Structure 1
Amino acid sequence: MRYDAAYGIRSFLAPVSRSAITYDLAYGIRKRPDDQLRQALLTAAAEKNPALNKLPSGAAEYGADIGGVLQWKPLLQEAERQFGVPWQVLGAIMAIESGGNAKARSPQGAVGLMQIMPNYHAGRAAKYGGDLWDPKVNIFTAADLLSELYRRYGSWDKAAAAYFGAIDASGNVTGARDAIGTSGYDYVDKFRNTLAKLQQLEQAGGKVVPGSGWSIFGGARFPITQEYANYNPSMYSSGYHTGIDIGAPSGTRLYSPFRGTVVQAGWNGGYGNSVTIKLDDGKVLILGHLSSVAVRPGQRVDAGAFLGLSGSTGYSTGPHVHVEMRDQSGKIIDPRNYLMF
């Protein structure tokens, strides 16, 4: 079995979710021989970094982030057209079940993006090709099932609970738990929260206002939780804060406020998952603590380009985005000299 299949390694073009961070982005691996991939995986495991070691296995806990499902949006929308299930509903279930990892397999035998149990749904899957490891077959099988459950129970919450297996004969959500302890009530809460994040994507986003730092958040405004140069030697090796922290909720879409070239994307030590862009005038913008990244090093981006989703990775005490800027020589500068907040 190839290591990309065994460990869920995606291509550089794919968004990377917090729960499914890939070793190719974290360690700069492209298509190397198996022995080099094996060594990189062993190196990563030795670091005992939870963000890197927690590979997706189809458990419900992975619904905390939606980054991994966004790459499947065209297929989800195709399923919506055919079965009438909103793509965001399908995406929310996918985020919870697999984190967007098409190679996910649960200990109980559920497979693929939507964690379908082959022994229960082989007949349904056969209508769409039968191979549940095929992303389209997997999504269409789940959409067919969810459409049936919605017709039966009359709400997407109950359809989601039934998909999980926590609904009684009267159509009430129950507290039945899975192998990792998630109850039906927990599952519905995860579903609602994840669905809300995906529904927010339909709102206008990516609007760029020249000179505005809020363009990073598509025009949305969030509280500034820490200013540039705040002195706190117990927290910072340099003694002071090197950027501006914006208290954006996890999963907020982030955009580039400038044209430039991505010079770093992925795991970056204390910054967690970060994106670093060298602007056309030579200055550098760093966005830190993301839950997922959607760009790759060397990629050219325009103002308004989607960069990833906010989170709380790396050295972080809660969900926020660290906005840092440097001049052409690499010296840290006040972001307010270049961006208005």
Structure 2
Amino acid sequence: MIEFEHVSLPQRVLFATGGARGNLAGQIETLGARRVMVIAGEGERDLARTVADGLPVVRWHHEVVMHVPVEVAERAREIAAADGVDALVCIGGGSTTGLAKAVALTSGLPIVAVPTTYAGSEATNVWGMTEGARKTTGVDDKVLPRAIVYDASLMLTLPVELSVASGLNALAHCVDSMWAPRADPIDRALAAEGIRALRIGLPLVVKEPTGAEGREHALYGAYLSARAFASAGSGLHHKICHVLGGMFNLPHAQTHAVVLPYVLAFNAPYADDARRLIAAAFDVSAEPGSASDPDGAVTGLNNLRAQLNAPRSLRDLGMPEDGIAAAAEAVLAAVPPRNPRPVTRENITELLHAAWSGTEGTDAR
């Protein structure tokens, strides 16, 4: 018997390679905005000027910091209020979108998002900010962008290494959406299609970085992953990465890329339907896999990671080994309900040790 409740978030999505400038202008006109604040990091300064050319911009804001420190958010809020801003445009990755969300959280200003990575934050109503060594997240419909302008041509200058990490971050949204607290059959269908698209797109990005086909597949997959994640909620993988990012100031996408295979190996043997969907999306469902992964979910992910030369260890990202115990305690306090496998101090510490060292073949049983 199938029974579930699914909520779809109200949002307009415009997907067209080469169409960013025109589609963005159209959305600002639809909003009736006359005093726009464009948020873009220093690296996207020139791109932002090109994409937002012709808009009624009263403020170009370039102070974007990873994990959105509270003091950075406060400064952006004050500037928006002082300038009488009536709409926000964010052009960039997850940190840029996150800053726009922080402003919208207290002001209610509408956001139009123009992503330049595969972060997926633009399709969710989840916000996150960091104070000290603690990252806090929440859910509020005020932070959901009114519209997303997707343009694969904006991804062409994203370095391959960062494209891989960002794409695996999107894939992590898909995996978490299989068993997150509010996961339902629609979330799992979106997530499975997202995995399939990313599995096709990311190797093409590595093979031909300036080609549109791989970028389009990856961007499409990233959007689906975010849609699934927005509905299903944050699972164990994201709880772990939020702890690590806030505690050690680790790079967001790379941290997700490193931790993902360990969480999948940890949970997959305890979630038969999910691991079969994941394996099928990786097109390895016919492979026998290992004794602890008979349907090939972990095998499929590891095959893809090998193709992509993905980041391998938290140690390489700068996490200190002596931080594992504190991180394990923080993760224990944040374990989401309905995780397929019971989480203990011992097994989460073992997972973090393996991810820190980059150990392959972690025992998932």
TM-score, normalising length from structure 1?
A: 0.27
TM-score by length of 2: 0.25
User: Comparing both structures, which one devotes a greater share of its residues to helix?
Assistant: 2
